[in-house]
Amino acid sequence: MEVPFVDLSRAHAAVRSKLHDAAVRVIDSCTYIGGEEVRGFERDLAEWLGVAEAVGTGCATFGLFAAVRSLGIGPGDEVLTTVHTAIATAEAISLSGARVVFCDIDPQTFNMDPEDLRDRITERSKAVVVVHLYGQPADLDGVMEIARESGLKVIEDCAQALGARYKGRYVGTLGDVGVFSFFPSKPLGGFGDGGAVIARDTGLLKWIRMFSNHGREEKYVHQFEGVNSRLDAIQAALLRVCLPHLEEWNRLRREAAHAYSERLSAIDEVQVPAELPGTEPVYHVYCIVVPDRDDLRRYLKERGVSTGIHYPAPLNLQPAYAHLGQGRGHFPRAEYACGHMLSLPLFPGITSVEIRYVCDCIADYFGRG
């Protein structure tokens, strides 16, 4: 049997004709930048999240950068984040001119460890970017309490976590700013790049909207220098078709993850993802930790199962951060996780037969077939 790591076509099957109609509608409208499709999606997303407003952006990397800049953060400042994340999180900080300060992870949730965060705060610290990696809500109570004590702003990187809940509330709505990605494999995947930002302070959001559009509200009146990072009309129209299905797609992701965990937690050598009490993850990625990840990966590939690695190295070990001088040994928990994690196939529409097959292969590998 062949089990793909991700198959987007299965979720799309239910909306295929609506997607085609929406694409044709935008093409025929000749409005490709801004316009009613973008405003409509921003309204739909804000309503879905229960917030007043959302701003569409060209991608979440820009959204995070704009979030950092909107808080007045720049050279001489420090922003803390997890060392175990996509480089986009850290790039957004460095691009602002601030110094990125990495924190180690909680080995059970793979998210930022609030105690490690506390230890790394200095008088230069201005904000924390908390990442809900793999769609698992981070320990927000822990992070927010420390942030409050130290006067830090909180940016939630929800690139992988649209629809995940923390104590009944959507992640992204609890910090000062929340940022989402519509990269195709994300919970709400678009058909190219895209992102969105929400914020507690509508003034910040107004600034982010202008920053994403050359510092202007009106054509040819630029209040300040910005960039061009807007959500395209065609992406917005397609995302509007998908958004009403997100809750169901996230439910299917959770169901698949729980089916894996139920079976795999019986194998001593396999660590399955832990869920913090009061959280409802969306499992953008389902990662297990095993003694020899590369060998298991090879074994599964030989049996037709595609897997992924998220991520092969924590950011301190990436050449881009060599200048920080934090080589191997600085973040032992993240370094261990990156060397031992394997992401299993998971996407809306994966069948129970496929999940059972993957689990059977893993059980066989460990001699528990």
CA pair distance 291, 269, nearest whole angstrom? 7
* Residue 111 binding ligand PLP, by CB under 6 A: no
Among all chains, which residue has been given the structure tokens 């110094």?
99
Q: Residues 187-206: x/- map of binding to ligand PLP (CB under 6 A)?
A: ------x-x-----------
Number of residues that bind ligand PLP (CB under 6 A): 15
Comparing CB distances to ligand PLP, the nearer of 59 and 282 is: 59
Helix (H) or strand (E) holding 171: none
* Residue 183 binding ligand PLP, by CB under 6 A: yes
Q: Which stretch binds ligand PLP (CB under 6 A): 115-123, 153-161, 212-220, 317-325?
A: 153-161
* Residue 157 binding ligand PLP, by CB under 6 A: yes
Comparing CB distances to ligand PLP, the nearer of 183 and 207 is: 183
Cβ atoms of residues 124 and 73 within 8 Å: no
Contacting residue, 89, 213, 229, 343, with ligand PLP by CB under 6 A: 89
CA pair distance 63, 121, nearest whole angstrom? 24
Cβ atoms of residues 288 and 341 within 8 Å: yes
| Shortest separation between residue 177's beta carbon and ligand PLP, angstroms | 13
CA pair distance 274, 139, nearest whole angstrom? 12
* Residue 159 binding ligand PLP, by CB under 6 A: yes
Q: Which stretch binds ligand PLP (CB under 6 A): 54-62, 145-153, 203-211, 258-266?
A: 54-62
| Shortest separation between residue 126's beta carbon and ligand PLP, angstroms | 19
Instruction: Tell me the pairing of strands 169-170 and 177-181.
Output: unpaired
* Residue 60 binding ligand PLP, by CB under 6 A: yes
* Residue 85 binding ligand PLP, by CB under 6 A: yes
Contacts 24+ apart (CB under 8 A), 122-126: 122/78, 124/76, 124/77, 124/78, 124/99, 125/77, 125/78, 125/79, 125/80, 125/101, 125/150, 125/152, 126/71, 126/73, 126/77, 126/78, 126/79, 126/98, 126/152, 126/153
For ligand PLP, the binding residues (CB under 6 A) are: 59-61, 85-86, 88-89, 131, 157, 159-160, 181, 183, 193, 195
